[in-house]
């Protein structure tokens, strides 16, 4: 094991690309995007001299944190956090009516930089490759697949009265699902873990191993979750996993440049569509949702913390011990305060929620937990040849950018999948004379 802080030529190129990505994002937000969400509090991003001078430094730092390529599970998690959280919390910081004076030197902006940095430095710890271990993951994944199919059946039966693929009825289905699958209830946990924890891992494995049953099962999960819960997010997860795992299967790695290029091209595609076709499908249904909505939510969270202080994890089991009562979820409290709607679940990233719960101490504690998970995944992937660690990292990465860490670990089933990974690894037998990670 050693700490790697080497600089590479590719990092300079990536710094230039990050600068282009961040600059285009500001231009696109101020020209096209914020107007699409202005009714919910979005606004233009003010650009002053300190921000202009800071942008190249942030681009260089982003490149250093990500490295030049994705070869381990930790690389996936760090790249996702930098590419998604930095634009929300830093580039578009203050681009809202809730907290227009927010910046990266305090509040949630500083919390995100600190939390992502801690996780990224943990990912700089490199482990030595050792002899390869037997690939016995398939039998365990089939057990998970049968659990997944059983849960899908229960989900469809419970939602049969309102199940629909109608696009306009998605929010009605979400409201009905909250009644049928009550939050915090055992059935809700079973459905969440049995679907959203399992299907991304099975789908990623299916792509890497060209295993059609798992590919089909992953797509089936996305379709049925849309019909029962009105969730579009699983389809985004499938696309992301498909792109990353296909590149990884063909090349054994994913260049970070590729991901930045995809982000840049998405912004340019949205601008071209609106300029030349007069429509805004990419900007409204994709870029607004992925970039502007979370940034606006972060502004609301910043304002909430200033008004009410820390929640002290009162909406978790700790609330039962400290006060004898458990409060409403912090994300619903945030939705009620900012948007005056008790049904609004204002999800933000795990660092922002940790900041709402316990300030910078909460950020430190939860970031250390994520750093520990990164070390575990990298260790098992490199030293024990456990490729399943890669799709589990994808599952974690797609969740922590929009949910609290506690929900990610329990409700979203990441803890369950980590335990499955440990069981698979412990049951594997060593093969002598062969290098660890399959290329």
What's the Cα-to-Cα distance from 339 to each of 29, 92, 108, 297, 322, rounded to whole Å? 21, 19, 19, 10, 29
- pLDDT, mean of residues 305-310: 93
Show the tokens assigned to 400. Answer: 């922590």
Angstrom distance (rounded) from CA 267 to CA 285: 13
DSSP 45: P
Per-residue pLDDT at 58: 97
Q: Tens digit of pLDDT for each residue in 251-269?
A: 888 999 999 999 999 999 9
Show the tokens assigned to 345. Answer: 């679940």
Show the tokens assigned to 37. Answer: 């969400």
Q: Which residue has the tokens 């107007």?
A: 35
Q: Structural domain boundaries of the chain?
A: 2-131+253-308+347-388+400-427, 137-251
DSSP 36: G
Per-residue pLDDT at 358: 95
Angstrom distance (rounded) from CA 152 to CA 302: 38
Angstrom distance (rounded) from CA 153 to CA 173: 18
What's the Cα-to-Cα distance from 217 to each of 107, 194, 348, 364, 396, rounded to whole Å? 42, 12, 29, 38, 20
Confidence of residue 435 (pLDDT cuts 50, 70, 90): very low
Contact 310, 304 (CB under 8 A): no
Residue 424 has pLDDT above 90, yes or no: no
Q: Tens digit of pLDDT for each residue in 68-80?
A: 999 999 999 999 9
What's the Cα-to-Cα distance from 283 to each of 236, 269, 350, rounded to whole Å? 15, 9, 25
Angstrom distance (rounded) from CA 286 to CA 239: 13
Per-residue pLDDT at 208: 85
Range in 73-87, 297-311, 318-332 the model is least confident about: 318-332
What's the Cα-to-Cα distance from 396 to each of 93, 104, 196, 285, rounded to whole Å? 24, 25, 11, 24
Total-model pTM? 0.90
Contacts of residue 295, defined as CB under 8 A and 6 or more positions apart, other chains included, come to: 42, 87, 88, 89, 92, 93, 95, 96
Residue 1 has pLDDT above 60, yes or no: no
Helix 389-400 × helix 199-209 angle, to 10°: 130
Per-residue pLDDT at 430: 67
Identify the three-state secondary structure at position 255. strand
Per-residue pLDDT at 434: 37
The count of other CB atoms within 10 Å of the CB of residue 101 is 11
């Amino acid at each position: 094991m050693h700490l790697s802080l080497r600089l590479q030529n590719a990092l300079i190129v990536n710094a230039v690309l990050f600068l282009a990505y961040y600059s285009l994002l500001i231009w696109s937000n101020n020209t096209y995007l914020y107007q699409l969400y202005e009714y919910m509090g979005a606004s233009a991003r003010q650009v002053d001299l300190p921000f202009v001078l800071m942008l190249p430094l942030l681009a260089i730092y982003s490149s250093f944190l990500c490295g030049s390529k994705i070869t381990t599970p930790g690389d996936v998690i760090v790249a996702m956090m930098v590419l998604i959280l930095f634009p929300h919390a830093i580039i578009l910081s203050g681009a809202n009516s809730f907290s227009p004076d927010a910046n990266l030197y305090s509040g949630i902006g500083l919390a995100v930089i600190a939390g992502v940095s801690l996780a990224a430095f943990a990912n700089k710890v490199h482990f030595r490759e050792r002899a390869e271990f037997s690939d016995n993951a398939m039998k365990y994944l089939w057990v998970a697949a049968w659990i997944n199919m059983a849960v899908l059946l229960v989900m469809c039966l419970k939602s049969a009265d309102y199940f629909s693929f109608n696009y306009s009825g998605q929010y009605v289905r979400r409201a009905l699902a909250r009644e049928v699958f009550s939050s915090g209830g055992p059935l809700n946990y079973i459905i969440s873990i049995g679907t959203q924890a399992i299907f991304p891992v099975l789908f990623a494995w299916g792509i890497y191993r060209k295993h059609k049953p798992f590919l089909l099962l992953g797509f089936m999960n996305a379709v049925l979750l849309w019909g029962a819960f009105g969730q579009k997010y699983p389809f985004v997860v499938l696309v992301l996993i498909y792109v990353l795992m296909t590149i990884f299967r063909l090349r054994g790695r994913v260049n970070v440049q590729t991901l930045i290029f995809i982000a840049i091209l998405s912004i340019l595609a949205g601008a071209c569509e609106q300029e030349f076709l007069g429509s805004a499908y990419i900007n409204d249904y994709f870029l607004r949702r992925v970039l502007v909505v979370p940034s606006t939510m972060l502004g609301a969270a910043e304002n909430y913390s200033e008004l009410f202080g820390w929640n002290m994890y009162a909406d978790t089991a700790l609330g039962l011990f400290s006060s004898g009562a458990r409060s409403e979820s912090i994300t619903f409290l945030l939705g009620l305060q900012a948007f005056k709607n008790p049904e609004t679940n204002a999800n933000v990233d795990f660092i922002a929620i940790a900041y709402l719960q316990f300030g910078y101490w909460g950020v430190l504690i939860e970031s250390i937990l994520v750093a520990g998970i990164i070390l575990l995944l990298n260790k098992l992937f490199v030293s024990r040849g456990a490729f399943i660690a890669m799709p589990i990292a994808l599952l974690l990465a797609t969740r922590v950018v929009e949910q609290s860490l506690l929900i990610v670990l329990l409700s979203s089933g990441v803890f369950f999948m980590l335990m499955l990974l440990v069981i698979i690894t412990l049951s594997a037998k060593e093969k002598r004379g062969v290098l660890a990670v399959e290329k």
